A = this chain, B = another copy of it.
Amino acid sequence: MEKQALEQLNQAVQVLLKDARTQVLAAMGQTLTIDEKTSRKDLVTNVDRSNENFLVQRLRQLDPQARILAEEGLGDQVETLAGHVWIVDPIDGTMNFVHQRNHFAMMIGLYIDGEPTLGYIYDVMADKLYAGGPIVGVTLNERPLPAPRDAPLAEGLFGASGPLLIHNKYQMQTIAQTSLGPRILGSAGVQISQVLAGELVGYLSYLRPWDFAAGRVLAESLGLVVSQVDGTPVNMLSSGAVLVATKSAQRAILAIVK
């Protein structure tokens, strides 16, 4: 896609997300319908579904030939990354959404023939929209976002996952103790946005494609690195332990994990 067309698409997706936010805020004034998916700690609500439906429909209008991989299954069956693939998480941090009415995000990523192209993380209650990609640049609420400093692990706070920290998977306790301290927020979107903003030097969690598709685009555009926990490239169509970090922090973490 040409740069001008991408810039138009970038603007249109931001408008779409603001419309979605208005609808989500209105829906939060109504009673939620909450269902368990795989366990009592894995929830889905009517708002996840209605917002996914809204996002998928609007993305189809913007990009009719594309395929859409969406968390709650209202998009397409996507088995390759050929052409335009949008990856959508309508409410990331559903547990926070239900129990805190706060600290959750909408996320959208666009991959073109597998190339990270556009990414959006929208922290709904803080009204912070991280947007863009390697060609159009990265903005926070429409203002250019500077790349974070390449801070070492020992000089920054580290975004952890509760289960991985408790069970010390991937040496996460050592990683946390090498850093200035762990932070757990319960939303990949919110925590990856804190890495983008330089508030965390890294984030490691078990993630599904929609949890990190947007974040990968934005992070790589800002000179951060996104990899599996052994340092190998991520695959946008599978789940696993994913690390988003500064280059320096990634080096320290890979040395701890191996």
Contact = CB atoms under 8 A, between A and B. Distances in A.
Contact of A199 (B100, B157, B162): B100
A166 interface: yes
Contacts of A156: 99
Interface string A92-126: 00011001111100000000000000000000001
Which one of A99, A186, A194 has the greatest number of beta carbons of chain B within 10 Å?
A: A99
A117 to B, nearest CB: 29
Interface string A151-163: 0001111001010
Interface residues of A, number: 31
Contacts of A185: 183, 185
A3 interface: no
B183 A157 contact: no
Interface stretch (A46-54, A58-66, A73-81, A173-181): A173-181
Nearest to A158: B162
A43 to B, nearest CB: 9
Nearest to A166: B173
B166 A95 contact: no
Contacts of A165: 165-166, 182
Nearest to A172: B166
Interface string A14-39: 00000000000000000000000000
A246 to B, nearest CB: 13
A195 to B, nearest CB: 11
